[in-house]
């Protein structure tokens, strides 16, 4: 669902920012994650200088070869540490916050990272004079939601816009790519288990290529007409969870049985997941799984940023080749969608 305050933001007055100069310094919070590596590559190719802020700099050194010598710097920082945020944005021309989690662990809570942390990062950027800013949120962000993940995403959006009104909010559906935790997770499951569980099988998703998301970040930083806007990012196909599992089953060539999980059984799994870390989902994740995760009617989209969404057929079959019995040497690749 789309958060009410931004549902009609295309009708709001335009917010103008100074031009982002060539070779500008862009600070990226959380740049070493799945989406981050593609954003870094895209911005490096566009000629920006990049400062990657991460809690574990040693784990982000793989990013440096994506740019020219000295173009990409890695710096220790944390959205929960005000001093590190001030240093992160010192001298920066633009900022991007990609921090987000799907499950809580210790001090890594939804509120600390997605609400309070998002606001702290934006305020630090504003204090440093940063005018170009992108906040990565998610479709389903809703300040009235009973689900902490969705609620804190919306609270983070509001905090960012309060600090930097010209900030751009990006809300992707499932982000798909070689390192994703959706297609790969169920493809791995298909190689190990004779069954694929279908939980809330009618819920619809609109997977978007991670490369399209990275392109959206780059365009949002520099296009003046994007300032202050909220964009929902989805691919060309909106498919049910069941259809996505069927697709993964075909593309992996495993022929697994799809097992329908009842609402009662799914709730029980969720409750067990609240207590046991090795369970497949928590109660909150099940609540999110029951709601469609597709671009809302009337929302601004990839097309409004001048980006043509990449169809699943262009990258998912190749991405899942390694899960097939003969890998890339399989001589009869399956169709993406069955009949």
pLDDT at position 329 is 62
Adjacent-strand bridge partners of 318: none
Distance CA 214, CA 34 (A): 11
How many whole angstroms from its chain centre is CA 254? Answer: 28
Distance CA 299, CA 286 (A): 25
pLDDT at position 21 is 82
What is the C-alpha end-to-end distance of the chain, expressed in Å? Answer: 30
10-residue averages of pLDDT along the chain (339 residues): 41 65 94 96 97 96 96 96 96 97 88 97 97 96 94 98 97 97 93 93 97 98 95 98 96 94 92 82 87 96 98 96 79 58
Q: For the chain, what are the domain ranges?
A: 4-12+22-175+208-233
Distance CA 175, CA 206 (A): 9
| Class for the domain spanning 4-12+22-175+208-233 | alpha beta
pLDDT at position 1 is 37
DSSP 64-124: GGGSSTTTEEEEE--TT-HHHHHHHHTT-SEEEE----SS-BTTB-HIIIIIIIHHHHHHH
Torsional sign, CA 18, 22, 27, 30 = positive
The dihedral formed by the CA atoms of 155, 81, 180 and 207, expressed in degrees to the nearest 10:
20
pLDDT at position 10 is 42
pLDDT at position 331 is 55
């Amino acid at each position: 669902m789309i958060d009410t305050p931004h549902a009609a933001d295309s009708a709001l007055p335009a917010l103008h920012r100074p031009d982002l100069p060539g070779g500008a310094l862009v600070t990226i919070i959380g740049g070493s994650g799945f989406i981050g590596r593609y954003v870094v590559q895209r911005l490096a190719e566009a000629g920006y200088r990049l400062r990657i802020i991460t809690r574990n700099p040693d784990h982000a050194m793989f990013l440096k070869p994506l740019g020219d010598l000295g173009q990409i710097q890695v710096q220790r920082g944390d959205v929960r540490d005000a001093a590190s945020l001030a240093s992160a944005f010192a001298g920066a021309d633009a900022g991007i916050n990609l921090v987000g989690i799907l499950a809580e662990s210790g001090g890594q809570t939804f509120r600390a990272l997605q609400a309070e942390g998002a606001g702290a990062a934006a305020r630090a950027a504003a204090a440093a004079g940063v005018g170009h800013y992108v906040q990565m949120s998610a479709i389903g962000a809703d300040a009235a939601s009973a689900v902490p993940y969705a609620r804190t995403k919306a609270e983070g959006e509001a905090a960012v816009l309060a600090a930097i009104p010209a900030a751009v909010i990006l809300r992707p559906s499932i982000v798909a790519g070689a390192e994703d935790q959706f297609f790969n997770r169920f493809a791995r499951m298909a190689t190990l288990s004779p069954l694929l569980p279908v939980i809330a099988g009618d819920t619809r998703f609109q997977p978007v290529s991670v490369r399209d998301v990275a392109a959206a970040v780059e365009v949002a930083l520099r296009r003046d007409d994007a300032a202050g806007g909220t964009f929902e990012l989805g691919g060309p196909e909106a498919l049910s969870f069941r259809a996505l599992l069927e697709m993964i089953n075909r593309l992996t060539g495993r022929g697994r049985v799809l097992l329908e999980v009842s609402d009662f059984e799914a709730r029980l799994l969720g409750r067990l997941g609240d207590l046991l870390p090795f369970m497949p989902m928590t109660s909150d994740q099940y609540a999110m799984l029951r709601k469609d995760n597709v671009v809302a009617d009337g929302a601004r989209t990839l097309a409004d940023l001048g980006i043509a969404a990449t169809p699943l057929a262009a990258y998912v079959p190749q991405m899942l080749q390694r899960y097939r019995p003969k890998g890339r040497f399989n001589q009869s690749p399956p169709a993406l969608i069955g009949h």
